[in-house]
Every structure is written in structure tokens, then in C-alpha cells.
């Protein structure tokens, strides 16, 4: 496995400069910023990532004001107690994407958000206090305890909210394969453990955030 500096040199060779690699890059939020984020914004971001999955993001973006209204601002309390009348109304609401299982996921994730908030004080505290050294563990937790938050959906959700982490895009996976970290896209616990170990090593030896590392790996191949 190459050092991150070696991989960065490959990226610079492809993109022309470090500045080009990080063009438009936004740093991850601090722990305090994550902790201060209201629970409804976490549920809203989960919902947006879920509806974006396998769909045209621009359509979801254009309809988002309708989503905010239809789901009553994504307050976890009311959403967690969605009854059949509300659900049936949402299924026929042309202001949102009418996808039954994804609409139901809002209710189930509201229950998840409330449970973590009750255990940790807020959902933001739960996320903000999760150790960066175990980002793979956080992804696994979202997949197991949330609804439709596995794979890159959970990764994009966290990225959208400013959490320091990686997205296992095709280009990032290609670099991880090239470095011998994995031999195919990671789907098993063992493969994710190997991915986490590689990112942790690059993080410790370079001092760069997981998000920066993810960008460097992605631009070294794609």
C-alpha cells in the first residue's frame, strides 16, 4: 500500500495541482457543529439521501420544498407516529416523489433518530461523538438500525451533513483495489474493516481528514 503522499503525487499528475484536486472542497464540520444540528435536519438529510438513491437528484432538489411541507418539517416526533391517513395522503401527493417504501422509511428513521436522541441527548451528539477512527462502524450502525441507509446512501447522508468520512465511489474503490486493500467492492464486514484500517493509517500518517483522503483517492483514478 502506497503512502498518501505517493497517491497524492499520482493525483497531481492527473489533475495538474493540489489546488485542482481540492477545487470546491468543503471541510468537514467540527464536533460542536454536528452536535448543534437539530434532529429534524438529520432526518431530512436521511430522507433526501434515500430519495436520491437510484433517482435523478435534480428532480428531488426541485421538489424539496414540497418534501419539507409534506413531512411537516421532518420533526421526528410527528414523523415517527405517521398514521395510515397521513401515509395514504403522501402516496398521492404530487409535490413529492411518490415511492411507498421510501415514504415509510421516513417514519422508521424518525423512530431511529428519536431513539438515538433519547440515548445521547440529541442525534447530533450521537453522530458528533462517534470516533472518526471507526467510521466503518458508524456506517454499519446506520445500516443495521436505520432504514435504507446501507451502502453509499448512508455515506452520502453523512457527507451531506458535514461528517468527516469517506464515500466508496467507483473511483475510490478502484484505488483501494490498486493498493491491495481489497480485491473487489467491499460488501462484507471483513472488507470494510480493511478499508477502515487503510483510511486510519493514511489519516494518522498524513494528518489529513478522511474526507480529504477520499478526495485524493478518487482523483488518483477518476
Output the CA angle 31-34-40, nearest 5 degrees.
160
Instruction: State the SS3 of the chain.
Output: CCCHHHHHHHHHHHHCCHHHHCCCCCCCCCHHHHHCCCHHHHHHHHHHHHHHCCCCHHHHHHHHHHHHHHCHHHCHHHHHCCCHHHHHHHHCCCCCCCCHHHHHHHHHHHHHHHHHHHHHCCHHHHHHCCCHHHHHHHHHHHHHHCCCCCHHHHHHHHHHCCCCCCCCCHHHHHHHHHCCCCCCCCCCHHHHHHHHHHHHHHHHHHCCCHHHHHHHHHHCCC
The rounded distance, in Å, linking the Cα atoms of 213 and 137 is 18
- Report the Cα 197 to chain-centroid distance in Å: 19
> What gap in Å lies between CA 126 and CA 124, rounded to an integer?
5
pLDDT value of position 99: 97
Q: What domains are there in the chain, each with its CATH number? A: 4-28+166-219 (no CATH), 31-151 (1.10.340.30)
C-alpha–C-alpha distance, residues 220 and 9, integer Å: 8
Give the chain's residues under pLDDT 70. none
pTM: 0.95
> Quick one: CA dihedral 210, 212, 213, 214, positive or negative?
positive
Q: What is the pLDDT of residue 222?
A: 78
**pLDDT value of position 65:** 98
Amino acid at each position: 500500500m502506497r503512502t498518501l503522499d505517493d497517491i497524492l503525487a499520482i493525483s497531481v499528475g492527473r489533475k495538474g495541482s493540489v489546488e485542482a484536486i481540492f477545487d470546491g472542497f468543503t471541510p468537514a464540520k467540527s464536533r460542536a457543529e454536528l452536535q448543534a444540528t437539530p434532529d429534524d435536519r438529520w432526518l431530512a438529510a436521511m430522507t433526501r439521501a434515500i430519495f436520491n438513491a437510484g433517482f435523478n437528484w435534480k428532480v428531488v432538489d426541485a421538489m424539496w420544498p414540497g418534501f419539507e411541507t409534506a413531512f411537516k418539517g421532518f420533526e421526528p416526533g410527528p414523523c415517527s407516529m405517521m398514521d395510515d391517513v397521513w401515509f395514504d395522503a403522501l402516496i398521492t401527493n404530487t409535490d413529492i416523489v411518490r415511492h411507498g417504501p421510501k415514504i415509510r422509511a421516513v417514519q422508521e428513521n424518525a423512530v431511529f433518530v428519536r431513539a438515538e436522541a433519547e440515548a445521547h441527548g440529541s442525534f447530533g451528539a450521537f453522530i458528533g461523538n462517534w470516533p472518526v477512527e471507526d467510521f466503518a462502524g458508524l456506517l454499519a450502525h446506520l445500516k443495521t438500525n436505520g432504514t435504507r441507509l446501507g451502502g453509499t446512501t448512508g455515506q452520502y447522508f453523512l457527507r451531506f451533513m458535514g461528517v468527516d468520512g469517506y464515500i466508496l465511489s467507483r473511483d475510490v474503490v478502484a484505488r483501494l483495489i490498486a493498493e491491495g486493500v481489497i480485491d473487489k467492492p467491499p460488501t462484507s464486514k471483513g472488507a470494510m474493516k480493511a478499508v477502515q484500517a487503510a483510511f486510519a493509517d493514511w489519516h494518522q500518517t498524513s494528518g489529513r481528514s478522511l474526507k480529504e483522503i477520499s478526495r485524493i483517492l478518487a482523483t488518483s483514478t477518476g
